[in-house]
Chains A and B, each alone.
Chain A
Amino acid sequence: MPEIHVVRKDNRHLYEPYFDPYFRWRHEIYVKQRKWMALDRPDGREIDQFDTEDAVYLFCIDNGQLIGAMRALPTLLPTLMSDIFPYLNIRGPIRRSDVYELSRIFVIPERRGEHAGPRVEMLLLTAIMEYGISVGLTGFTIVLESWWLPRFERCGWKAHPLGLPQTIDGMSVLAVLVDCDDTTWKSLCGQIGLTRPILTWRGLAGLNRLALPDISLPPPAFAQPAQ
């Protein structure tokens, strides 16, 4: 199964080799495929003003290859919603230490729609909940394409709309606040058959983490008959 690594400013040096492919994949997916031309850069990398040292990344890595990723930004600092799409949020700005904003959620094309093992996108959606619970977050804001909403509903992500969907570059987009809680995480783990946390926190031993709720008992040390 692929691994999902937490990458923050404290351990970023351990993941430097992954950043070049990461930014190139973002260019491939967001500029070349989705045609978000405002993000185009001549060096073939998609890096924006929010890729600062405060950004937290989840890298999904399989056999040493980056196959998917997600970015989380503190809402106390500028985000896509606050600086670029403020009109998508009519409930009022969200600037809270316990809410991060998710963006650039992707799985590389050849790893989409897999049926052997949990799907990579589901792994990422589960992993970010685990991250949020571990560091004490209660929610995530996201600017996303509207067609994601039924998928969120189906997998148990509770999304609260912050404004009306609007058409941007031919695609319906809206702003939501998603709950980050134990119930959602446990339900996701159950759906994809995870019996233990999935995140790798390499080089982050100094980080204080909150306990995760129990999703399964560890296997017994000795064989015990079932009956």
Chain B
Amino acid sequence: MQSLEPYWGRQALDFVDAIEASKTSASVIAQFERMIGNLGFHAYIMAGIPTSGQSLRQLTIANGWPTEWFELYNRENLSAVDPVPRHCFNTLNPFEWKDAPYDREYDRPAHSVMIRARDFRFHEGFCIPIHYDDATGAISIAGERPHLDPETKSALHLMSVFAHGRLRTLSRPTPVASGRRLSGIEAEVLRWAARGKTAWETSQILHISERNVRWHLEEAQRKLMTKNKTATVAIALVNREIML
């Protein structure tokens, strides 16, 4: 475990520095594809793992799968039976596809996904789970005979997590463009204003002072750079800061 020859370590750190300096998603993706290509991987996906009612397509951050596989996977909702995304819910650590457990005899749908993947030259794969409090995602990469020694896996882990993070950051609206976000109480006060409540009425509903209500309205107005309460409500609705 200790003191791996740091060749891939340095490569991975250089890669992270480069993508952190990259300003577009296209550039991050190009660098990521080049890097995993060097390691013998020809396909990848970065996506949230769909739960009921969600589709993989809407949760995809970067799609480097062959079109046909992506279509097939979506059409047949294979993420529901694929043992690889399923295993992400049970582990914090990255794993090789072959280590995603399923019952080969009784879990035919799972076995079928693994077999069909081979038609796309996905002979071996590596998966990095991404865990948030309210969602789970993964970066999954595949190839015919990729490098999967401990050092390479470690480098892939680091590069994938940072590429994924960088893509998320780049796709997020910048704070300057979107203005400051309203606090919970400011949004609450605006929701009542949108329903025609006066500051006094809102103060009674929320059990806070009228002065406090006016203060929150003013703050919201300042953040949204509007001139009066009506305009503040209108802009907050358009920006989806509040919903009715």
Contact with A along B61-100 (1 / 0, CB 8 A): 0000000000000000000000000000000111000000
Q: Is the CB of B228 within 8 A of A226?
A: yes
Q: Which residues of A contact B130 (CB under 8 A)?
A: 150
- Of A38-46, A57-65, A168-176, the stretch lying at the interface with chain B is A168-176
Q: Is the CB of B132 within 8 A of A150?
A: yes
Q: Is the CB of B183 within 8 A of A195?
A: yes
Q: Is the CB of B10 within 8 A of A90?
A: yes
- Interchain CA distance A220-B221 in the complex, whole Å: 14
Interfacial residues of chain B within 121-146, with CB under 8 A of chain A in the complex: 129-133, 137
Q: Is the CB of B93 within 8 A of A161?
A: no
Q: Is the CB of B2 within 8 A of A174?
A: no
Q: Which residues of B contact A187 (CB under 8 A)?
A: 175
- Interchain CA distance A50-B168 in the complex, whole Å: 36
Question: B147 at interface (Cβ–Cβ under 8 A)?
Answer: no
Interfacial residues of chain B within 192-244, with CB under 8 A of chain A in the complex: 199, 210-212, 214-215, 217-219, 221-222, 228-230
Question: A96 at interface (Cβ–Cβ under 8 A)?
Answer: no
Q: Which residues of A contact B154 (CB under 8 A)?
A: 164-166
- Interchain CA distance A2-B185 in the complex, whole Å: 18
Most buried by A among B13, B16, B210: B13
Known: A153-B169, A172-B93. A164 touches B1 (CB 8 A): no
Question: A209 at interface (Cβ–Cβ under 8 A)?
Answer: no
- Interchain CA distance A219-B158 in the complex, whole Å: 45
Contact with A along B92-122 (1 / 0, CB 8 A): 1110000000000000000000000000000
Q: Is the CB of B92 within 8 A of A171?
A: yes
Q: Is the CB of A163 within 8 A of B164?
A: no
Q: Is the CB of B214 within 8 A of A225?
A: yes
- Interchain CA distance A226-B229 in the complex, whole Å: 7
- Interchain CA distance A86-B91 in the complex, whole Å: 26
Q: Which residues of B contact A151 (CB under 8 A)?
A: 131-133
- Of A24-32, A129-137, A141-149, the stretch lying at the interface with chain B is A141-149
Q: Is the CB of A193 within 8 A of B183?
A: yes
Question: A213 at interface (Cβ–Cβ under 8 A)?
Answer: no
Size range of the chain A interface in the assembly: 35 or more
Q: Which residues of A contact B132 (CB under 8 A)?
A: 150-151, 154
Question: A91 at interface (Cβ–Cβ under 8 A)?
Answer: yes
Question: A14 at interface (Cβ–Cβ under 8 A)?
Answer: no
Q: Which residues of A contact B10 (CB under 8 A)?
A: 90
Q: Is the CB of A150 within 8 A of B8?
A: no
Question: A167 at interface (Cβ–Cβ under 8 A)?
Answer: yes
Give the nearest-CB partner of B2 in chain A: A87
* A contacts with B: majority SS: loop
Question: A97 at interface (Cβ–Cβ under 8 A)?
Answer: no
Q: Which residues of A contact B180 (CB under 8 A)?
A: 190
Question: Closest CB-CB distance, A139 to chain B, in whole Å?
Answer: 15
Q: Is the CB of B228 within 8 A of A227?
A: yes
Q: Which residues of B contact A160 (CB under 8 A)?
A: 16, 20
Question: Closest CB-CB distance, A184 to chain B, in whole Å?
Answer: 12
Q: Which residues of A contact B164 (CB under 8 A)?
A: 150
- Interchain CA distance A161-B165 in the complex, whole Å: 13
Question: Closest CB-CB distance, B211 to chain A, in whole Å?
Answer: 4
Q: Is the CB of A164 within 8 A of B4?
A: yes
Known: A150-B130, A190-B181, A226-B229. A167 touches B215 (CB 8 A): no
Q: Which residues of B contact A149 (CB under 8 A)?
A: 161-162, 165
- Interchain CA distance A120-B1 in the complex, whole Å: 34
- Interchain CA distance A118-B185 in the complex, whole Å: 13
- Interchain CA distance A149-B13 in the complex, whole Å: 15
Question: B33 at interface (Cβ–Cβ under 8 A)?
Answer: no
Question: B36 at interface (Cβ–Cβ under 8 A)?
Answer: no
Known: A91-B13, A163-B13, A187-B175. A150 touches B165 (CB 8 A): yes
Which among B92, B151, B169, B221 is the interface contact of A147 at CB below 8 angstroms?
B92
- Interchain CA distance A2-B61 in the complex, whole Å: 36
Q: Which residues of B contact A52 (CB under 8 A)?
A: none
Interfacial residues of chain A within 186-227, with CB under 8 A of chain B in the complex: 187, 190-191, 193, 195, 216-217, 219-220, 223-227
Q: List 15 A-B contacts (CB under 8 A).
A: A87-B3, A113-B133, A146-B93, A147-B93, A149-B165, A150-B132, A161-B158, A164-B157, A165-B154, A167-B93, A190-B181, A191-B181, A193-B183, A217-B222, A226-B217
The 7 closest A-B pairs by CB, nearest first: A153-B165, A227-B228, A226-B217, A164-B154, A223-B211, A193-B183, A147-B92
